[in-house]
Structures are given as structure tokens and as C-alpha cells.
Chain A
Amino acid sequence: MAESGRVPVLLRLCRGCRQFVRLNEEDCPFCGGDLDMLQADYDKRVADMRHAAAELREALARARLKGRDA
């Protein structure tokens, strides 16, 4: 294959206004937000949610076990 296909130019998602922006942007050209900071906040929220969901699953499993023992 002589020619490869057109490799897409990458964009990143602004976690403030949910618009895609060029990789070289530091601040979102649409909402003005700090892209790295917004991403870090978003990642933390996702991690917190996953942690809370895991704790809830464990609590439910413990409750089920208790119910079975009683």
C-alpha cells in the first residue's frame, strides 16, 4: 500500500462547554475555561463517582450477606 489513509487531526473535549477544541489550546476558545484544570476536575469527579459506586456495591453485598445469615 503506497499511500496511507488520512490520519485524523486530533481534538480534545472541553469539559466546561463540551465543545471540541484543538490540542494546542490552553484555554477553550468557546467558553474561555482552563482546559487542563477543567479536565482535572472532571477526572476527579469521575474517580469520586466510581469510588462511591464501589462503596455502594460493597455495602449492598454486605447487607445481602447479613440478611442471609439472619
Chain B
Amino acid sequence: MTEQRTEALPVRYAGLDDIVNRVPVSVVWEITLACDLACQHCGSRAGRRRRDELSTSEALDLVEQIAELGARDVGLIGGEAYLRKDWLEIVAAIRAAGMRCDLQTGGRNLSEERVARAAAAGLCGVGISIDGIGATHDGIRGVPGSFELALAALRRVQAHGLSSAVNTTINARSLPQLRELMDVIIDAGATNWQLAIMTAMGNAADHPELLLQPWQMLEVMPLLAELAVEGRKRGLFLQPASNVGYYGPYESIIRNVVNDEIYYHGCNAGDTVMGIEADGTIKSCPGLPSPYAGGNIRQTRLRDIWENADPLAFVRRRTIDDLWGFCRTCYYAETCMAGCTWTAHALMGRAGNNPMCYHRAREMDQKGLRERLVKVKDAGGKSFDYGEFEIVVETAAPGVLDRVSVHG
């Protein structure tokens, strides 16, 4: 981290002042749950709009409340945000309030007209989700042809002068294609590439075959480091999401924003990140399940929720005593605090022990062991729900299922 924010940093980058003052620098807002894709890994199980989504006037009032808290960047997500009829009114209001506004989209129906109108409304940038090459992406996204449509949307966004990014979930199918995918998106003109580990929430909990196994972090981190270095030379800036890591010799390479001394310093949820659901529910991170909801703006002012709601305070109140399993005694425990809360909670049913970690996989590997996740309970079928997984510790030799111990 750096103590001073400079013009070179993205606006959503949080500095020490932001953390101390708990400025929700980056707000991720699901404005509708309506969606035109059927993604196998969708955490919110999007498809149909929520019955009680915010009205236009409620949404515009919420924009003002977000701005009052000092937010700098509002990312609109869904579902598919452009399926909400008033989405451009919301974009324009966010820009008028002095904040950056980006759209994160699958891009299936991001038509020429939609992009033109979004640019006119002041939309700053668009992140297109691409999860592999061709049929891999189409299969994961549940719509044949969606890969080509996503690439076309990416080119359309650039033609209108908006900043363009690609978002990719790293999963069992996309991992072997990341290198090829980087070539494709560079050719398509992308300049930013955000990568996140697929998290076992919502639909993804129903597809354990897509999930990475913890020991695969030993492959993920060196690969991302290689791609980050090469991408930078070719004009593509790789941005690992906060569930990608942690530590080891590749940490400084993949998180190099302005220098190589930047490292993962723990979950930001509720300190500099806020998530909003389409019905006005406020969370500290958009992916977290309902126990983390701090309130709803229909009953309580946003500032009151942000400043006082206990469910939003877990990051700043978390201590090493809240950690368990491997993370409890880890060398990096004090800094990392078990990494991404969303990922840990979705897998283990509670935060504080995160098996999706490079340092952990490496320590296990040095002992000739590895961890494997086994689903033992299905998710219920609702938005942001999760199943139950056990960690099986086994010998590291592939194919050997010599069970050493089981804990969950």
C-alpha cells in the first residue's frame, strides 16, 4: 500500500487516509437482478429481477447518499445492469455527483445504441466478463455465441472512447486457457484485465467441478505473474481481485500498481468497499451472503448503516483470535487475516480460514501434502447462498487419495 494517493493510481485505489476514515472508495451496486445470461458461477443466481427493486427516485436518492460518504467510484452490476430501463439516469446522476461510473457486464446485448447512449450519459468505462475461449466461455455463461458477442461489445466500447476492461473468473476450465485468452483480449484492445478466483457461491456452489482446488494456487500464481509481466509490456494491466493470492515470490509482481512493494493487506469490505443489492440492502462487499447485510436504505439512511451497522464492521474488529485452521497460525495472519471473506465464508461456512491461498499451498507442498475441497452439502438455491465443503489433506502426489485428516 502507499500512504499518498497519486494521479497515477486508479480512483478506486484506497490509500491510508481512506482506510482510517473509512471512505467507501469503491461502491459496487447491483441495480437489477434481471439478466440475459445463465452463468454457471453466478453468485446471485441472477435471471429475473427482484420483486422489490429500488424505484428510480429511490435509486437517484441513493446516488446522493453514496456521494455524501465520499465514494469515488461506482460500479454498476447485475444481473445485467443495462436491462434496467432507467440505468442511464442512474449513470448520469452518478457522474453529476462527481463520481466515476463503470459498468460490469456480460455484454450479450450491449448494442451499438446502448453503448452510444451510455457514453453520452457519462459512463466512464466498461468491464466485459470473458471466462475462456469460445465454447468454454459459452458453456460457463450458458448462452451459445456469447463469447463472440462479448468480444464485439468490447470493441464497441473502445470505439466510443470508453475505457475497457475484461473480467475473468479463474476456474477449472478457464485456467488452461488464460494465456490464449490474454492474446485474444489484447488483440481486441483491452487495457485492463481483472482476474478473480471462482467462488463457491450461488450457482457456482452447484458446480464443484468448476472450482479450483487449493493446490492449484501453485499453478495460478506463477502463471499470473508471468502474464502480468508480459501483459504490461503489451499494454495490458493485470489486476488480481482480492481473492487472488497470497504472498510468496509472485505477490509483488501481480500486485505491482506503482511499485513492487505493494502486497495484499487483508479484506477491505466495510472499510473502503461497499456492496448494494437491487432492493437497497447494504453490505460491506457485493458478494457476501445475507448475514453480512447491514440494513436497507428504505428503513435507514446510508450513512447510518455504513457507520454503525455491526454486520459491516467485521474487518475492522477482526483479530487473530477470530481466525482458525491453517490461517490461525500462519506467518502472515496479522496482515492477511485469512484473505477474502467472501471466498472463505462460501467454502467453509464462516470466515477466518481460507484454503485458496498460494502461501498455504506452498507450505503444504513442502511437507508433501495438499488440500482438496469436497462438497458435503448442497446450497439451498437462493441468491448468495453456499454449500458446505470439507478440506481433505492428502499426499501431494497426483492421484493418490491417501487421506491424512479431514476438517471443515
Contacts and interface: CB of A to CB of B under 8 A. Distances in A.
A5 B260 contact: no
A8 B249 contact: no
B31 to A, nearest CB: 26
B365 to A, nearest CB: 14
Contacts of B22: 1, 3-5
Contacts of B271: 5-6
Interface string A1-41: 11111111111110001111010000001000000000000
Nearest to A17: B249
B249 A4 contact: no
Contact of B21 (A5, A6, A18, A20): A5
Given A1-B307, A29-B331, A7 B20 contact: yes
Contact of B19 (A5, A22, A29): A5
Contacts of B261: 12-13
B331 A7 contact: no
A17 B249 CA distance: 7
B265 A9 contact: yes
B21 A4 contact: yes
A60 B332 CA distance: 47
B251 interface: yes
A11 B263 contact: yes
B318 to A, nearest CB: 7
Nearest to B22: A5
A19 B249 contact: yes
A3 B396 CA distance: 44
B378 to A, nearest CB: 34
B258 to A, nearest CB: 14
B249 A5 contact: no
A5 B272 contact: yes
Given A1-B21, A1-B307, A8 B1 contact: yes
B263 A20 contact: yes
A8 B337 CA distance: 10
Contacts of A5: 18-22, 271-272, 315-316
B334 interface: yes
B68 to A, nearest CB: 13
A29 B20 CA distance: 30
Contacts of B331: 22, 29
A1 B208 CA distance: 42
A6 B21 CA distance: 10
Nearest to B250: A18
Interface string B245-259: 001110111000000
Q: Which of B16, B271, B308 has the most CB of A within 10 A?
A: B271
Given A3-B313, A4-B21, 7 more contacts: A3-B316, A4-B19, A6-B318, A12-B261, A13-B263, A20-B251, A20-B263
11 contacts: A2-B308, A3-B316, A4-B21, A5-B272, A6-B315, A7-B16, A11-B332, A18-B252, A19-B247, A19-B248, A19-B251
Query: Which 5 A-B residue pairings sit nearest by Cβ, starting from the closest?
Result: A8-B265, A5-B271, A5-B19, A9-B335, A18-B249
